[in-house]
Amino acid sequence: RGAMSPMEVCEGLGLRDLRNRRWHIQGTCAIKGDGLYEGLDWLASTLKELQASGYSTSTGSGAF
């Protein structure tokens, strides 16, 4: 119902052109909540992986 597909979001934001960045688009349904846990699982596992690799996952200033 008027929502963009994950591929349309990817193309619209030009994500394929990003280098040295991890990104993930998770299709979701706000009404049913579908996809929310999958997206959060990806985020949590990615942050754990980055921390294990020695990367800082904080911004330092509290701002994005």
Task: Quote the pLDDT of residue 64.
Answer: 41
pLDDT band at 3 (very low <50, low <70, confident <90, very high): confident
CA separation, residue 55 to residues 25, 44, 59 (Å): 22, 14, 11
CA geometry: angle 63, 51, 59, nearest 5 deg: 10
pLDDT in tens, 11-46: 999 999 999 888 999 999 989 999 999 999 999 999
Task: Quote the pLDDT of residue 46.
Answer: 93
pLDDT band at 47 (very low <50, low <70, confident <90, very high): very high
